[in-house]
Each structure stands twice: as C-alpha cells, then as structure tokens.
Amino acid sequence: MVNELIKWGFLIYLGITPLIPDTINSKYRIMDIYLVLLVCVYLINMLVNYERRNKLCNDLKSFFKDSIVIFMLLLIAIMGVSTIYSTDKSLAIQETIRFGTYIAILYYFISEIDIKKDLEKVVKFIYYPAFIIGVLGVIQFITGKGITRYANGVARIIVTLDNPNTLGMYFAVLLFPLVMIAFYEKRTVKKVIIGLVCLIFVLNIAFSFSRNAWFALVVGICILTIIYNWKFIIGLFIAGAGVLLYPPLSVRILGLGKAVMNDGRLKHWGIALEMFKDKPLIGVGNGNYVTLHPEYVKLFPKFIVPGEENYPTHNSYFKILSELGILGFIPFMLLHTTIFIRSIKVCKLYSEKYKGLIKGLIVALLIFFQANLLDNMWFVPKVTFLYWIIVGILILLYRNKKAAK
C-alpha cells in the first residue's frame, strides 16, 4: 500500500513539474519541498520494512552495474571534485546536486516502475499536463496575455515553462513519440484524437518562435522519413507552406542564416574555448562558465555581446568542455553515446508492442542531442527531466526483454 502511494507521489511529481512556473517555485520551493518529502517517505519505508531493505540492496547492485549509470556516477564524481577549485563553489555544488537528483530519479524509475503495469500511467502523467500547457499556449498566443518575450515584434509564448526556447524544445521532444504512437494505433477515433494533440504541440513549437525548436522539428521529420516512412516528408512541405502563409514565421526563418553569423552564441562559444584552453584537463568548475564570463570578456573584448553579460554558453557540449575539461567531457560523451546505442538495441529487441513508442523515443533522443548544439537543454530541469525519463523507459524495456530471455 505504502509503495503504491509513493509511486503515485512520484507520478504526480512527474505531472506537476512542467505546470509550476519557476517564478513560483523559486519563491516557495514547492517542487523541492515535495521531492524532499517524497524521498523521506521512501527512505523511512525502506528502514521499517525488511523486504524493502532487501530489495533496495538488490536493486542498487543491479543499478550500479549498468554502463549508463557508471558513466553518470563518474561524471558526478568529477563535478563534485570541481567544486574544490571553482570560483563560485555554491553554484558548482548546486549544479552537482541537481545532476545527482537525476541519478536518484532514474534509480527510482527503473527500480519501482513496472513496465507492463505502469508505463501507460507514466505516459499519461507526461502527456496530460503537456496537453494542458499546449492549449494554454495557443490561448496565450491568441490573447497575448502573459507574453513577455518578442521576436521581430511578434509575441513568443512561454506559458509555465519560463522561456520560449524551453517551451519549444519541451514540445519537440514530446511530439515524436506521440506521432509514432498514433501511427501504430489501430483505433481510428483514438488515432484522430492523438493527431489533434500533435497539432496543438506543433502550433506551440511554431508560436514559441524558437529557431532551435523549429530546426529540431525539421530534423525529427527527416529522421522519421528515414526510419519509418518516406511519406513523413509531406509533413515538411505542409510545414513549409504554413511558414509562407504566416509572415512572422517566414521572416524569422529566412533571417536564420544572417542571425547565426551575427548571433551572440558564436561569441559565447569563443569564451568557452578560451576557458578550455586555460584549463584543458579539469575545466573552470561545474556551472562556473556564467560566473567567469565577465572576466573573460574583459580579457577578450572581441567576444563582447552587448546586453548578454553573465550569459550561458548556448551549447551543452562547450559548457561541459569549458567547465569540466577533457576529464569531464569524455564520460559525458560516452554517457550519451551509450544511451543512444542502448536505444538502438531496445528497438531491435521489440517487434510489434512498444515499437512505435521506441522509435519515437529514439527520434526524441536524436533531436535532443542536436538541440544542445545551440542551447543548454541538458541543464534546463523541465526539459532534461523528460530526457532522463526517456532514458529510464528505455532501460526498463531493455531489462524487461533480457529478463524474458
């Protein structure tokens, strides 16, 4: 009974995370308090229940043997060591703890979630809140209420996700698993309903005016064309027609090439490389790119971006390289390469059931890798939380098939 209540508590956490704006959470720490209480109940249950303690020992042994987890532990160890020499030690500790929560969440997910009984619940607790946010996003774009960001004078929606780029990638990651579920769905009514939800997601990606999310959408469609059906390319033509029919979208896309060349991102990447050159082995410390950015701008005035002081790298790979050096970058890349290889193995293990979901998850992984070339999405909690849930689902599916054999 207690175990089920904790599981429902976890699912509720999964569902409400994207619904609580950071402006509220940072003030009242709602999600942090909720997670701490959930962990406390979980640990107390372990302490008073012998069977649960025994299960914990067995689960931990299995958990720590997984190559994905090994790379995560190696990475967090390097993050922890970097706090010693970081300029801003509190920020380094904060980012290290945050990554530690992802390890803890992944552990709970693959240890307590039953892939056969609970997967549908997990999917619902992810997509129902996304649907609510999606509807609110369309309403926000139409009414203009709550809009604080603009692109070429056109409103960029944020809803509860605090940033248009975050909102765009949130829906891009969620879109493709849902598209594949729709294609494998045999019931016409349900297929139509899922299709309408997908349309709402696409509208939110469009109205976010996030070029990175748009690019992820195009890349995702191209991948689906390769791995599933060439007819997906029709989606690109439809999207292209939609862009031409709505001038603000076409202006933003047509200005993409010029924007990339003039974008502050290139200068932020330049700063990251200078930090890497100074400390190529160990980096400047976890999370400390932002802290040291003003100092490096003074040393290298050519990288000044007016109005963008103390700005992030806008590239997760450069962030890791500059903050953790080669020692951190290698396990980071091995971690995500291992995750991708595992996803391919999982896809090969399943023939019909879960096949659509798995293919959609693979596309979500790939566009997430791509998105981190232009943004720090691995370090945006509301989006990266989805990434680790995807990883958890893939690990569970892999273990489920291996156990059956």
* Mean pLDDT to the nearest integer, 204-224: 89
Q: Is residue 151, in this structure, part of any structural domain at all?
A: yes
pLDDT at 350 (0 to 100): 85
Q: Is residue 211, in this structure, part of any structural domain at all?
A: yes
Using an 8 Å Cβ cutoff, are 38 and 10 in contact? yes
Determine if residue 39 is left, alpha or beta; phi over 0 gives left, psi from -120 to 50 gives alpha, anything else beta.
Answer: alpha
pLDDT at 49 (0 to 100): 84
- Co-location of 166 and 221 in the same domain: yes
- Co-location of 214 and 275 in the same domain: no
Q: Is residue 340, in this structure, part of any structural domain at all?
A: yes
Does residue 208 have a pLDDT over 80? yes
For residue 145, count other CB atoms closer than 10 A to its CB.
10
| φ, ψ at 347 (rounded to 5°) | -60, -40
The three state secondary structure string of 56-121 is: HHHHHHHHHHCHHHHHHHHHHHHHHHHHHHCCCHHHHHHHHHHHHHHHHHHHHHHHHCCHHHHHHH
Instruction: Find how far residue 54's CA is from the centre of its chain.
Output: 33
pLDDT at 261 (0 to 100): 45
How would residue 404 be classed by pLDDT, with cut points 50, 70 and 90?
A: low
- Co-location of 226 and 353 in the same domain: no
Which of 254, 174, 148 has its CA nearest to residue 211? 254
How would residue 394 be classed by pLDDT, with cut points 50, 70 and 90?
A: very high
Q: Domain ends where: 262, 278, 299?
A: 262
**Domains of the chain: total:** 2
**Helices 233-245 & 247-254, crossing angle to 10 degrees?**
110
Q: Is residue 65, in this structure, part of any structural domain at all?
A: no
Reported as a single tens digit per residue, the pLDDT across 215-238 is: 899 899 888 888 776 666 666 566
- Co-location of 245 and 312 in the same domain: no
* Mean pLDDT to the nearest integer, 385-390: 94
Which of 4, 8, 104 has its CA nearest to residue 52? 4
Does residue 86 have a pLDDT over 70? yes
- Co-location of 241 and 301 in the same domain: no
135-149, 221-235, 336-350: segment of lowest average pLDDT: 221-235
In the DSSP assignment, the letter for residue 29 is: -
∠ CA 400-109-64, nearest 5°, is 80
Q: Is residue 179, in this structure, part of any structural domain at all?
A: yes
pLDDT at 230 (0 to 100): 65
Between 153 and 8, the higher pLDDT residue: 8
Q: Is residue 117, in this structure, part of any structural domain at all?
A: no
For residue 36, count other CB atoms closer than 10 A to its CB.
11
Highest mean pLDDT among 68-72, 209-213, 218-222: 68-72
User: Distance between CA 388 and CA 107 in Å, rounded?
Assistant: 10
- Co-location of 190 and 282 in the same domain: no
Using an 8 Å Cβ cutoff, are 243 and 250 in contact? yes
DSSP run (H or E) holding 301: none
- Co-location of 205 and 132 in the same domain: yes
- Co-location of 256 and 269 in the same domain: no
Q: Is residue 268, in this structure, part of any structural domain at all?
A: yes
| Domain residue limits at 381 | 264-405
For residue 90, count other CB atoms closer than 10 A to its CB.
11
- Co-location of 338 and 275 in the same domain: yes
Reported as a single tens digit per residue, the pLDDT across 261-308 is: 456 788 999 999 999 999 999 999 999 999 999 999 999 988 888 777
- Co-location of 361 and 389 in the same domain: yes
- Co-location of 250 and 278 in the same domain: no
DSSP run (H or E) holding 158: none
Q: What percent of the chain has pLDDT over 70?
A: 90
Q: Is residue 225, in this structure, part of any structural domain at all?
A: yes
Q: Domain ends where: 262, 294, 324?
A: 262
Average model confidence (pLDDT) for the chain? 88
- Co-location of 240 and 180 in the same domain: yes
Q: Domain ends where: 206, 237, 262?
A: 262
